[in-house]
Amino acid sequence: MGQPTRQFFDRLARRIPRQLPREVRGTLRCDLRTGEHIEHWYLTVGEDVEVSHSDAEADCIIRCDTATFDAVVTGRLNAMAAYLRGRIEAEGKVGMLEALQMLVREDGPERGVVHGTA
């Protein structure tokens, strides 16, 4: 698992994000591939964000390699742009990629977070 990805989910699980628009609420499962290994990250986005490793059904399921997801969470790659370019596969409520992007922006450099460090 990529260090930026793990750090992003760890920080997300420990904080309460600002109020997200109601239309970006729901569940998002990220199936992240490193070689033959797939790690599941499950987000429940509502008043707050819950993080787990569930592989349950979700409103949106995305699949990509860990390096691509690392690029998304460090702000080098936009999640929706990656989907449109075929770097991220998604099924279900694809609009949940916008919720992911909002969470990344909240966590970004403008908030004083230096990615790649703890």
Higher-pLDDT residue of 73, 19: 73
Whole-structure pTM value:
0.84
19 confidence band (pLDDT: 50, 70, 90): low
The pLDDT tens digits for 64-94 are 999 999 999 999 999 999 999 999 999 999 9
98 pLDDT higher than 70: yes
- C-alpha separations of 7 from 26, 37, 50 in Å: 22, 19, 15
Torsion of CA 69, 98, 45, 61, to 10 degrees: -60
**pLDDT for the residue numbered 32:** 97
**pLDDT for the residue numbered 34:** 95
Q: What does the domain layout of the chain look like in residue ranges?
A: 3-109
11 pLDDT higher than 80: yes
**pLDDT for the residue numbered 17:** 58
- C-alpha separations of 68 from 22, 23, 34, 86 in Å: 27, 25, 11, 11
Two structure tokens written together for 18? 């600002």
CATH architecture observed for domain 3-109: 2-Layer Sandwich (3.30)
Query: Can you spell out the DSSP letters for 68-106?
Result: HHHHHHTTSS-HHHHHHTTSSEEEE-TTHHHHHHHHHHH
CA distance 101 to 91: 17
**pLDDT for the residue numbered 106:** 79
